[in-house]
Structures are given as structure tokens and as C-alpha cells.
Amino acid sequence: MTEVTGVVRAVCVSGERGVQKREIPAASLIAGHGLEGDAHAGDWHRQVSLISYGKVQKFNEGGAGVSHGDFGENLVVEGIDLGALPVGSLLECGDCALEITQIGKECHTHCQIHQKMGDCIMPREGVFARVARGGAISVGDVIRLAEAPARGPRAAVLILSDKGAKGERKDESGPLIARMLRDAGYTLAELKLLPDERGEIEAELINLADRRQVDLILTSGGTGFSPRDITPEATTAIAERMAPGIAEAMRAHSMRITGRAMLSRGVAAIRGGSLIVNLPGSPKAAGECLDAVLPHLGHGIEVLRGKARDCADSTKNDNK
């Protein structure tokens, strides 16, 4: 593999969120935290933000006059097209290592740059990373794209409940689903509780599929007949393709347990390289449904990601 290298053109920090970052000559990257002294550091997946120097320069050709730190970025890197890297890519700089965790972001409120230029490149060109290994990083340091270690599939869990989001009901489905995923070899990238609001659900599904590029997204709740049960509609709205066999298999399995399984409206869908599966809200039902399909989802994800070519069941011997 041809080595891809770049140079750190700027290091920027700010002590408060919402405040423009200032350039500094060097900083310390703290493993599992972020840049020392930066307000966006912490125990989450967006510990460090980066943007490509060339993309900023091209944007400035339109008269934007953007300086380092104006986009809220921590690191400006020349020589690597950061926005084209897949999630999971590893960047090494001296003793430091950054794992890319998200590509782009949703812009909730237009910044001053957008108000001035009618555009802002950070939502589509900015990337985010967690600090895999800490150490010092300085302006002028060489940064290279390294071979990322092999990892298992990544999953996210969305618990959809108005009462749960208000703190009026304890979430029992989330921990159960998370445990089943870990036992099956998945890395849990996100466990989040949202109200039954279609716009919020759609936005989070898009974020997890497009920006965080998780392999499997499991939702729990909102699949019944109540007027507030809109998870299937939200999933279908953002889907590129449907995967009806998964939902059919879960209902068929549950029908052996209770006839009321026919009242579940959950769907399964594909967006990009992500598989999305709606589970019931009941912990018991969610566990039963997931137990029925989880052993087979891994192969589907491999096919979706181009790592396998067919859906033949390797457990069956056709040459009897």
C-alpha cells in the first residue's frame, strides 16, 4: 500500500464551546479524551475535529477569508483528503494516533461563515476522531494514514420512548440489546434514548448511517398501533432499500410465542452500508426477536459491505 502522508498546518483549541478556537503551536493529545484544554474534549466519539487544508484554501478562493480555527476545527491537515476517509481510518502523528469516528456533521444553526458566504464546508468536509494513543502534536508534524487494526462490526442502539426520554420509565431494553450485541462480537458505537418524534428519529438514523457509518442500527419501540408509534415510518422514509425478510422472520418467530406478534409493524431497511432493524419496545419481545435473527445478520452485513458474495447458508450441506 502506498503511504499517504500529510502535514499538520494548524493546532487550535478553545476553552469554551461556541467560542472561536485560537491557534497554538503545539498541544497534548490525551488518550480517550482529546486535546488538552479544549472544550470539546471528553468521553465521547467526537474528541478531536479535523479539516483538510486544501478544502479550506479552495473555500477561501470565494472571498470567505476563513482563518484557522474559524470552522471550530482542532487540526488542519495538508496533503490528506480527510473527508474521503472511511470511519475507522487511523491517522498517526509521532506517538499519537487518531481513529476517525464520524465524517461531517449536521448543522443545526447556520454559523457566521454560512451567513456571510451562504455556505460552510465543515458539515460535509470536517471529520471527527477519538484519541487512540496520546502524545504531543505540533504545527509542522508529519501525519500519516496508517493501517487500522482489524475490528468486528459496529452497532448502534436507539431506544424510542416518550416516557423513557422524559425519565418517567427506566430503559430495560437498551442494556439487554447492548449485551446481546457484545456477546455476538459487535462493538457498541452508540446507545441513545429518543422520544417518539419522527424528525428526531430520521435525523439520528441518517447520522448513524451516513456520518458514523455503523454496520447495524437497532431500534426498539414505536412499532405498534399507537398514534405515536412511528418508528417504521421514520425508517422507511430514510431507507434506500427494504429488507422485508428480516421483519418477516422476527414476526414468524414471535407468532410461536404469542398471536399478538402480528400487531408489530417493525421493518428492516438498508441505507448505504448500514442495516437498520426495528425491534419491539418490550424487553422480552425485543430479546426474542433479536435472538431469532442476530446469528444471520452478520453475513448480510458482510454482503452489504462487499466482504462476501452470496447468502448461501454455510451450515447446510447441499451435497447429501
Alpha carbons 279 and 267: distance in angstroms, whole number: 8
Same domain, 298 and 163: yes
46 falls within a domain: yes
Domain boundary among 146, 167, 201: 146
Quick one: what percent of the chain has pLDDT higher than 90? 81
Tracing cell 441505507 back to the chain, one arrives at: 271
316 falls within a domain: no
Same domain, 190 and 95: no
Q: Where residue 32 sits, what CATH number does that domain have?
A: 2.40.33.20
Q: Which residues contact residue 204 at a Cβ distance below 8 angstroms, ignoring those fewer than 6 apart? A: 158, 192, 194
Same domain, 175 and 100: no
pLDDT tens, 51-63?
999 999 998 888 8
Quick one: what percent of the chain has pLDDT higher than 70? 92
Same domain, 74 and 172: no
Nearest to 76, CA basis, from 34, 115, 23: 23
Alpha carbons 317 and 320: distance in angstroms, whole number: 7
Sign, Cα dihedral of 51, 57, 60, 65: positive
Residue 314 reports pLDDT greater than 60: no
Domain boundary among 146, 173, 205: 146
Instruction: Give me the number of domains the chain comprises.
Output: 2
Nearest to 9, CA basis, from 59, 66, 79: 79
Residue 19 reports pLDDT greater than 90: no
Q: Note the pLDDT of residue 123.
A: 86
Same domain, 137 and 248: no
pLDDT tens, 247-298?
999 999 999 999 999 999 999 999 999 999 999 999 999 999 999 999 999 9
In this prediction, residue 183 has a pLDDT band, given cuts at 50, 70 and 90, of very high
pTM for the predicted model, two decimal places: 0.90
Contact 286, 280 (CB under 8 A): yes
Same domain, 127 and 240: no
> Average pLDDT for residues 66-78, to the nearest whole number?
92
In this prediction, residue 30 has a pLDDT band, given cuts at 50, 70 and 90, of very high
Same domain, 199 and 288: yes
Q: Do you know the residue count of the chain?
A: 320
201 falls within a domain: yes
Q: Where residue 228 sits, what CATH number does that domain have?
A: 3.40.980.10
117 falls within a domain: yes
Same domain, 246 and 225: yes
Burial 59-68 (b: 16+ CB within 10 A, else e): beeeebebeb
In this prediction, residue 319 has a pLDDT band, given cuts at 50, 70 and 90, of very low
Residue 116 reports pLDDT greater than 60: no
* CA 122 vs CA 26, 39, 106, 201, 205: distances in Å: 22, 18, 9, 23, 20
309 falls within a domain: no
Burial 252-290 (b: 16+ CB within 10 A, else e): eebeeeeeebeebbbbbbbbebbbbbbbbbbbebbbbbb
Same domain, 110 and 182: no
314 falls within a domain: no
56 falls within a domain: yes
Alpha carbons 213 and 210: distance in angstroms, whole number: 5
Give the range of the structural domain holding residue 87, as residue numbers without chain letter.
4-146
Alpha carbons 278 and 169: distance in angstroms, whole number: 20
Q: Note the pLDDT of residue 245.
A: 98
Cell triple for 182: 457484545
pLDDT tens, 41-51?
999 999 999 99
Same domain, 137 and 158: no
60 falls within a domain: yes
Same domain, 221 and 181: yes
Domain boundary among 95, 127, 146: 146
Same domain, 119 and 183: no
Tracing cell 447468502 back to the chain, one arrives at: 311
